[in-house]
Amino acid sequence: MRARDKAAVSALRSTLAALDNAEAVPVGEAALRGTALEHAPAGVGVTEAARRELSEREVVDVVRAEVAERLAAAEELTTLAHADRAAGLRAEADVLLRFLDGPGAA
């Protein structure tokens, strides 16, 4: 990271965001309708919900989905005008694949 590896930084940032989104608790429609404003809870922390804890398998699935997304996007960018962007996406996918291959590979 100190070498300012742009592919690694980009891949890791977006994958961390995807993991963060995967941990979010889904909100049901009934909760969205709510009650009258005067009956709404007030105070510090009343709107916070516990986040889901992902299993190791779910984390691997999210990372694999990020890899697949990058490879599919790179495949679509086949014209010469987008060759640099496609190469960048493939480099990001390679960074993520190193994390999936095991602890010695990263």
User: What average pLDDT values come out for the chain (106 residues) when binned by 10 residues?
Assistant: 76 94 75 60 67 92 95 84 88 92 59
**Which pLDDT score is estimated for 106?**
44
Q: What is the rounded distance in angstroms from the CA atom of residue 21 to the CA atom of residue 19?
A: 5
Tokens of 87: 């190469």
Per DSSP, helices labelled H in the chain are 6-23, 29-33, 56-76, 83-100
Contact assessment for residue 99 and residue 67, using Cβ atoms and an 8 Å cutoff: no
